[in-house]
């Protein structure tokens, strides 16, 4: 019997979700066992930076 790959272990699926549905994509990055920690940190830093920039633009 063929084993199913979890959706969050498919880098292409997680990348697509990051573009079209970011909250689920971030959760996929968090849960993934196949994405390297370096890329996880880059993803988290990018979203934190985007949130900070949007907050300063909106509040400023």
Please give the C-alpha separations between residue 3 and each of 6, 34, 52, in angstroms, as whole numbers: 9, 16, 41
What's the mean pLDDT in 6-26? 95
Residue 10 has a CB neighbour count (10 Å cut-off) of 16
Hey, is 57 helix, strand or coil? helix
Classify residue 14 by burial, with Cβ atoms within 10 Å: 0-12, 13-18, 19+: buried
Mean pLDDT of the chain: 93
Q: Is the pTM of this model over 0.85?
A: no
What was the pLDDT predicted at 1? 67
């Amino acid at each position: 019997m063929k084993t199913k790959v979890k959706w969050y272990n498919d880098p292409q699926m997680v990348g697509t979700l990051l573009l079209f549905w970011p909250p689920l994509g971030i959760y996929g990055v968090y849960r993934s066992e196949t994405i390297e920690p370096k890329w996880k940190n880059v993803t988290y830093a990018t979203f934190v930076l985007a949130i900070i920039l949007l907050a300063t633009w909106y509040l400023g």
